[in-house]
Amino acid sequence: MLKLSNLKLSKEWILVVVLAVLFIFMSIFAPGFTDSYNLTNMLFQIPELGILSLGMMAVIITAGIDLSITYLAALIGVIIATCLTSGMPIGLSIIIGVITALAGGLINGFFVAYIGVSPILVTLGTMTFFKGVVTLITKGNSISGFPEVYGAIGNNAILGIPLPLILFGAVALIAWYLLNKTVWGRNVYMTGNNPIATMFSGINTKRVLIYVYLFSALMAAVAAIIMTSRYNSAKVDLGSSYLMQSLAVAVLGGANISGGYGKVIGIVLATAIFQVLSSGLNLIGISSMIINILIGVVLLSVLMINFFSSKWESVGKQKTI
Amino acid sequence: MKKITQQKEFGIGLVVIILGVILTVMSPAFFTTGNILDILKANSVLGILAVGMTLVIITGGIDNSVAAMTAAVTVVISKLVVVMGSGTLSLLTVFVIAILVGACFGLINGILIAVTKIPPIVTSLGTMTIISGITLYISNGEYVNSSMLPAKFIAFADYKIGGVSILIFIFLITAIFTWFLLKYLTVGRDILSFGGNPTSAMRVGINTTKVQIFVYTYMGLLAGIAGIVQTAYNKGVDPNGFSGFELTVIAAVVLGGANIMGGSGSILGTLLGTLLLGIMQNGLILAKINTFWQEVFVGLIILIAVSYEVLKRKREEMKLSKVEIEV
Amino acid sequence: MSQSILEVREMSKTYPGVQALKKVQLEVREGEVHALIGENGAGKSTLIKILAGVEHADEGSVFLFEGKPANIQKPIDATLKGISIIYQDLSLFPNLSVAENICKGRKSNKRGFGMVNWNEMRAVAKKTLAELGFDIDVDVPLERLSIAKQQLVAIARAIAFEAKLIIMDEPTSSLSSSEVELLYKVIEDLKRKNISILFISHKMEELFTVADRFTVLRDGEFVGTFKKQELNEDKLISLMVGRALEVVEREETVQGKEMLEIKGLSKKGNFKDIEFTLHQGEVVSITGLVGSGRTELAHAIFGLERYESGSITLDGEVLNIKSSEQAVKKGIAYVPESRQKEGLVLQQSIVKNISLSILKKLTNKFGSIQEQKELTLANKYISTLDIRPNIPFLNTGNMSGGNQQKVVIAKWLSTSPKVLIVDEPTNGIDIGAKREIHKLLRRLANQGMAILVISSDLSEVLAVSDRILVMRKGRIAGELPHHEANQEKIMNLAVLGTHLEEKLPVGSESKGAVNL
């Protein structure tokens, strides 16, 4: 059934178009953009930001925000690094890292769901707390020197596909499945739109929220593993620059900051847009600082377009009634 | 006596006093004029920004771009003082420009937030990214040290009145003026009204758009002042040195008892919140506790403080009876 | 004869899809207390909003204040002209002092350089409070005062603005009886000062205590204006309700076994000693005035709020429910009071709303939602309940009230509940859809469901119930079987707490008559 209204581009299709246009633009104007070296490089860089953004998005869908996600990642990274350097097997180290993640997510979830503190304050507190614990453990230094096998996670490729990218793909698929196919995922969206009505429908919204923060903590764990492996070190600012970026990616990817909307595919596309933009501009010779400015401009423009289009839509609606 | 305990600032005030007493007992170096002045001077920038953030939070908003604005202003100052020569007048001009630059940043925030109704948290995140990007681009991320600053500026930075650094005076004057603004100026009352009940504010004829624009512009203006103080305190400029500082500012305001949902907040509370963070850092050093503990403590204190507020409010709501039952 | 201060004629207000006011008239005289009354949805609040400048009336409406066209654009215009409103929620600033709440918006508060003239404000506030004889400290933040005192502050605010007409919207809804007495005294004082009052209330007893004249609205239309002497409570009720009572044809249902038994249920400040039973195939209504504890009771049964003592037995099992999740598991369903805030997720589709409560049962062994089953379920209810438009993926926010309510009911029917509680099921729903929902409730009862209806709409209660429980001030004041019940009897229980002894003759009033 093809209706005129179906032809209107959804948020995600707009992202596809933007990505395609940017890619073509960069292929033409950025020297060496389509070189296999550059392309693989980009593919190695996408996953960390993408995975953190997925966690951020899940929290945003419930009308929350997770400011602690990158410092939790740093904490997980540092814990894993400490385990590895003390000679623990890789598997066990990762398990301990994941347990750390779950504990962190549980703290966030507890304060948000059960105490009822607004997410921004909770995660502001836990962010400072996690950062403090990391500094305590590392004494401000970095921990490095992991087994070679561990380094493979972040640096090797299978059939030319970087391992981190495969991990990102797997994580994105799982996130898509959880959010779109499971009861929990459905309840995440419903809670984000209207927590009261959802609770009045017999849904345990507190549990839904706890799992959301656990989910974002697990995303932090996966990102932490990739980062520590790629850099072969862990310190307090591990991935800290990704905090604002992941928020920007989530918003650019269509997640609604007031809750209820956000798609995995949007995040994947938005991450790719970020990467194409930054590495393309880099090759053109524009400084990374300008690229940061552009990221802010893009973020605000997307928000303004959303604002004006929804305003325009509601005006249109009123006229038809 | 009852009146004092009823004050919202009572809790945080008590914590500050207890902490002060503990530190005095633990370390004789704590309760000395020199040390107290050091604490005040070291936290002037935090205090000035927190005072501005208090107004923003009273309106139910938030400004993530404060640190970026301050850093931008420090870079502007470092560029200007070199160009403008070393007269007193030119130094003053630099300061005025610095403050205006800050106010312009704030105005942009204000217009975006008030007119487009995009949630302040994301709007200011966007402007933060842009402002800090521009700052880094212009400064190239390079550090400016005291040898590169004119002597006149260094003299200003070291200037003392009655043994008290001018930076502390700037901080206190800012705080007192903002307190005055909140209490005695129409715009201050309108800010409180808007935060307390936006619908009623509209009904009594307050231009709520103007109130919001004012609040963010004022925040920017204070970021300009904070930029001056920061440059003077450091006698140098580190364009990167401020990232993440906005969260400390928010923490100081929240610790001071302001409600993140809007409506309540006081300058006195914010000053106490700033002081608490400052004393804690100072105390950890004096008590020879590893400063790495500081953020762990701050994080815990934020969590406890906000949870306490929420639980208190919930309990009050529970107590409220909905139906008058006939006996 | 005193002059009229407010005159409204031919006033209409059309919202998209609804005509809230149809050529309404209202005349308030100097120094009188004028009651504006009508059922929910009769148009009272729309009329007040127009008088307050929050809404604007349609073209052709006449709105005179002190004999001149009022020309009110913004709320503050109304206040400055002398029309002050005391909203039900008071609309004050909890974080500001009493003095400021009283004076906010006055020009004379300001002096040069954008300064606030605190002395002037405090003086005006003190003087006004003294004039009214209220003993309230002007420097205290409003939130520290009791609701009753806040109300007095709101009145003082009106006086400080030299209001000539004060509109009070349900002013006693959160006051205790001694506080209400105080309010009456204040109103007497205001009358003596030649200030007019437009009084909106649901409570008959207080209307007859304070009001001089009554204007009755029904379904957005003007019914009549009457002097107090011409009315009694019964007559007023019949004017409000109208004679044309809708009759829902009903088959006799077969009452089954006892499904829900409530014993001695109490919660401090909410309800006390509630006892009743509900059988399969039976519709029992709980009615009573707003604030009599009905919704609180429903919330307690549904696990949204705890109760302190008493027991709830469902199908022979004593329940100890702590959450809505457990209530749903046990077979209790609750259609909440506010369809838009509590009933539906407006941004989501009909399908997702209908399946919300039983989603777990629609998954396959991998925990994946079977969308085909979900759609089938939704389509089943779209057709059996005749939900329109019949587009399963339409967002519920784009539907009419009646159809929204059907979606909420569909959500609960899909859980096959043992007990269905519906709270104000037809609030804000047009007459046609209302009848449909009434029929649906009867049909469900016939199929053996036990239904508890909570409603303040008397015609609804009479139309659907087998038995009617009347609540008053947190207790059940009495029970009426449906064949004995009528509106007068219910109102008597709701207002006075006593059974009506003998039937008083009720004269019928022709619509539109103005008896002066």
Tell me the pLDDT tens digit for each residue of B217-243: 999 999 999 999 999 999 989 888 787
Handedness of CA B68, B70, B74, B79 (dihedral sign): positive
> Is A177 within 8 Å of C356 when comparing Cβ atoms?
no
DSSP symbols for A244-300 = HHHHHHHHHTT--TTSS---HHHHHHHHHHHHHHHHHHHHHT--HHHHHHHHHHHHH
Which residue from B202, B263, B325 is facing C474, i.e. has the nearest CB?
B325
Per DSSP, B321 falls in state -
> Is B247 within 8 Å of A128 when comparing Cβ atoms?
yes
| Cα C342 to chain centroid, rounded | 16
Size of interface A-C (CB pairs under 8 A): 74
Distance CA A307, CA A305 (A): 5
Of the candidates A167, A214, A250, A179, the residue with the CA atom closest to the CA atom of residue A68: A214
Query: Closest-CA residue in chain A for C343?
Result: A197
Number of H helices, E strands in chain A: 13, 4
Whole-number pLDDT of residue C505: 42
Query: What residues does B161 pair with on adjacent strands?
Result: B164
Peptide bond into C389 cis (omega under 30): yes
> Is B325 within 8 Å of C293 when comparing Cβ atoms?
yes
Nearest CA of chain A to the CA of B247: how many Å?
A: 7
Mean pLDDT of chain B: 88
- Weakest-pLDDT range from A74-83, B89-98, B264-273, C100-109: C100-109
Of the candidates A42, A40, A45, A81, the residue with the CA atom closest to the CA atom of residue A229: A81
Query: What residues does C65 pair with on adjacent strands?
Result: C6, C68
Residues of B in contact with A248 (CB under 8 A): 125-126, 129
Residues in chain C: 516
Distance CA C401, CA C386 (A): 14
Per DSSP, C259 falls in state E
DSSP symbols for A86-150 = TT--HHHHHHHHHHHHHHHHHHHHIIIIII---HHHHHHHHHHHHHHHHHHHHTT--EE---HHH
- Weakest-pLDDT range from A105-109, B99-103, C433-437: C433-437
Q: Does A256 touch chain C (CB under 8 A)?
A: no
Has residue C509 got a pLDDT over 50? no
Per-residue pLDDT, averaged over C219-243, amounts to 82
- Asked if C68 contacts B237 with a C-beta cutoff of 8 angstroms, the reply is no
Phi/psi-derived region of residue C281, left when phi > 0, alpha when psi is between -120 and 50, beta in every other case: left
Has residue C506 got a pLDDT over 70? no
> Is A129 within 8 Å of B129 when comparing Cβ atoms?
no
> Is B197 within 8 Å of C473 when comparing Cβ atoms?
no
Has residue C303 got a pLDDT over 60? yes
Distance CA C480, CA C499 (A): 9
Which residue's structure tokens are 């930076």? B167
Looking only at the bridges linking them, the beta strands covering C213-218 and C221-227 are antiparallel
> Is B324 within 8 Å of C474 when comparing Cβ atoms?
yes
Which residue from A187, A196, A202 is facing C342, i.e. has the nearest CB?
A196
Q: How many CA atoms lie within 13 A of C255 on its CB side?
A: 11
> Is A115 within 8 Å of B307 when comparing Cβ atoms?
yes
> Is B322 within 8 Å of C74 when comparing Cβ atoms?
no
Q: What is the pLDDT of residues B64-116, one digit of tens each?
A: 999 999 999 999 999 998 887 778 888 899 999 999 999 999 999 999 999 88
Backbone angles phi, psi at A98, to 5 degrees: -65, -40
Whole-number pLDDT of residue A311: 66
Q: Which two tokens stand for residue C304?
A: 């949204």
Q: Which two tokens stand for residue A180?
A: 């779109």
Q: Does B132 touch chain A (CB under 8 A)?
A: yes
Q: What is the pLDDT of residues A178-227, one digit of tens each?
A: 999 999 999 999 999 999 999 999 999 999 999 999 999 999 999 999 99
Residues 6+ positions from A273 with CB-CB distance below 8 Å: A15, A18, A19, A22, A252
Whole-number pLDDT of residue B164: 93
Distance CA B168, CA B229 (A): 9
Q: Give CA separation, C237 vs B10, C134, C481, C485, in Å.
A: 54, 35, 20, 15
Distance CA C427, CA A241 (A): 52
Which residue's structure tokens are 């403090």? A132
Residues of A in contact with C334 (CB under 8 A): 200
Chains with ≥3 CB–CB distances under 8 Å to C: A, B
Of the candidates C244, C318, C308, the residue with the CA atom closest to the CA atom of residue C271: C308
Nearest CA of chain B to the CA of A249: how many Å?
A: 12
Element (H, E) at C209: helix C204-210
Distance CA B257, CA B254 (A): 5
| 3-state class (DSSP) for residue B182 | helix
Whole-number pLDDT of residue B318: 74
Has residue A22 got a pLDDT over 70? yes
| 3-state class (DSSP) for residue C349 | strand
Has residue C179 got a pLDDT over 80? no
Distance CA A35, CA C342 (A): 56
Which residue from A251, A290, A293 is facing B122, i.e. has the nearest CB?
A251
Which residue's structure tokens are 């809007």? B262
Query: What residues does C344 pair with on adjacent strands?
Result: none
Has residue A246 got a pLDDT over 60? yes
- For chain C, the first-to-last Cα distance in angstroms comes to 12
| Higher pLDDT pick, C509 / C54 | C54
Residues of B in contact with C176 (CB under 8 A): 324
| Cα C339 to chain centroid, rounded | 13
Mean pLDDT of chain C: 86
∠ CA B109-B112-B115, nearest 5°, is: 135
Chains with ≥3 CB–CB distances under 8 Å to A: B, C
Has residue B307 got a pLDDT over 70? yes
Other Cβ atoms less than 10 A from the Cβ of C393: the count is 11
* Predicted confidence band of residue B1 (pLDDT cuts 50, 70, 90): very low
Whole-angstrom Cα Rg for chain B: 21
Other Cβ atoms less than 10 A from the Cβ of A19: the count is 18
Of the candidates B72, B45, B82, the residue with the CA atom closest to the CA atom of residue B226: B45
Looking only at the bridges linking them, the beta strands covering C83-86 and C33-37 are unpaired
Per-residue pLDDT, averaged over C304-312, amounts to 92
Of the candidates A277, A218, A225, the residue with the CA atom closest to the CA atom of residue A47: A225
Residues of B in contact with A295 (CB under 8 A): 129, 133
Q: Indicate the residue type of A77.
A: G
* Predicted confidence band of residue C513 (pLDDT cuts 50, 70, 90): very low
Other Cβ atoms less than 10 A from the Cβ of C66: the count is 15
- Asked if A74 contacts A224 with a C-beta cutoff of 8 angstroms, the reply is yes
Q: Does A114 touch chain C (CB under 8 A)?
A: no
Query: Closest-CA residue in chain A for B123?
Result: A300
Q: Give this complex's ipTM.
A: 0.87
Q: Which two tokens stand for residue C199?
A: 């009084």
Q: What is the pLDDT of residues C76-130, one digit of tens each?
A: 899 889 999 998 878 899 999 999 999 988 877 777 788 888 999 999 999 999 9
Q: Which two tokens stand for residue B114?
A: 């008030």
> Is C342 within 8 Å of A197 when comparing Cβ atoms?
yes
